[in-house]
Amino acid sequence: MKPTECTTILVGKKASIDGSTMIARSEDGGREIIPESFKVVHPADQPRHYKSVITGCEVDLPEEPMRYTSAPDASGKQGIWAAAGINEVNVAMTATETITTNARIQGVDPLLVNAGLGEEDFVTLTLPYIHTAREGVTRVGHLLEKYGTYEMNGMAFADHDEIWYLETIGGHHWAARRIPDDAYVVAPNRLNIDEFDFDSPDFMASADLQELINTYHLNPDFEGYNFRHIFGSATIKDTHYNNPRAWYVHHYFDPESTTTPLDQDQPFITYANRKISVDDIMFLMASHYQNTPYDAYGDQGTPAEKKRFRPIGINRNFETHVLQIRNDVPTGLAGVQWLGFGPNTFNAMVPFYTNITDTPASFRDTGAKFNLHSIFWLNKLMSQLGDTNFKLYGELEDAFEQKTVAGCYQIQHATDQEAQALQGAALQAALTTANQKMADLTFANTVELLGAMVDEGHSHMQLKYDLLD
């Protein structure tokens, strides 16, 4: 089974700088490199009968799917793993964030063994059929109740108005919360939903979940329902692997925050001291505790401190996305899938339009083996070279990222203006062309950066003997 350990960031429309909803996630893996790609799935290509590769679970699907974008595994050997995308009515979905559980709920509703659905399946089974974020919650809830799951997962849905975050609970149960419009969320690899109100329309859950909690005495609190306390974990691993990531994001958006890296009760719903941009999310998804003793590349901490906490930006980032539904442009231009491949310390995220017919070959045709025509493999190569001497190569990367993102912004702004009056096939063609321009720009800048790194690193090799030595 493919290991997946990610970080999710959600931003409500009143918390964002431009009024858009944004749901973001880094798709992380394990020791094995997992190449990723970017594709459009047309209705004719969507299966009508689905069978999971991992468990063999079979699902009959509706007859009229919508077109949607996806970021699937390039090899497909363990299934599709579509990961994230935006469909033709501008509903976004990202799935999934691997989360934690505890023995109390597993004793009541155990995870399935060699059966049910998981991260491999959820986007393919959901995104082509939903017209709102709320519909995404109800469809996944139905799938969980009918087929069950073998793992604990969190997932998010967004439309132009709402963001919902859902977490699986045991083998067949689930809960979800609407994110307030003026709030943001950071969700690392633990059960994240805390305070839950069964009587509010901003919360949804399995019909019998409250009864299950009460019947089996699962609630450790004297008052209310805190789902992290009821269904989640508070382990030593959480204090080193999960909680510090939330702490770093909270302090980035509010330096006056009083939380510490070890806090088990990092708040789920949080508020920034300013409006949040895509650039903020890109920085955080690449972050490694800069300006703290815990930065592996920094000069403040001891060797032990530098390895104490798992960062968000890590060698195991294989694909990262920000799914943005914009409210300041016509509907046909609203969906943008920002996409970056490989470790976020050495890549640039590209704002691809999703109302398109195809994706650029450098992002689409990744291939399971290393090749120099794929942006995924170029980014992976750069990150591994950059990791050998971050102080030497870091400034080159910063300049590359700013240059690339600025260039993509310029293409996006021009396209937004030029495509205002276009509709239908003409609009899709224009946006597909704009995506190709951004991909070409990114590829050229990536090759240029790689060359600059080679030039800069030449004189710093250990195996050298200059005439003046």
Report how far residue 9's alpha carbon sits from residue 23's, in angstroms, rounded to the nearest whole number. 6
- What Cα–Cα distance (Å) separates residue 460 from each residue in 449, 452, 464? 17, 13, 8
Catalytic residue among 4, 5, 6, 352: 6
User: Which of 109, 83, 78, 103 is CA-nearest to residue 95?
Assistant: 83
| Beta strand segments in 332-446, E | 335-341, 350-353
| Beta strand segments in 283-325, E | 317-325
Residue ranges of alpha helices (H) inside 238-389 are 243-253, 278-285, 303-306, 361-364, 375-387
Residue ranges of alpha helices (H) inside 258-300 are 278-285
Are 168 and 144 spatial neighbours (Cβ–Cβ below 8 Å)?
yes
User: Which of 1, 445, 11, 15 is CA-nearest to residue 273?
Assistant: 15
57 is catalytic: no
Is the link from the previous residue into 96 a cis peptide, with omega within 30 of 0? Answer: yes
SS3 204: strand
Query: 276 forms bridges with which residues in the sheet?
Result: 16
Residues assigned a catalytic role: 6
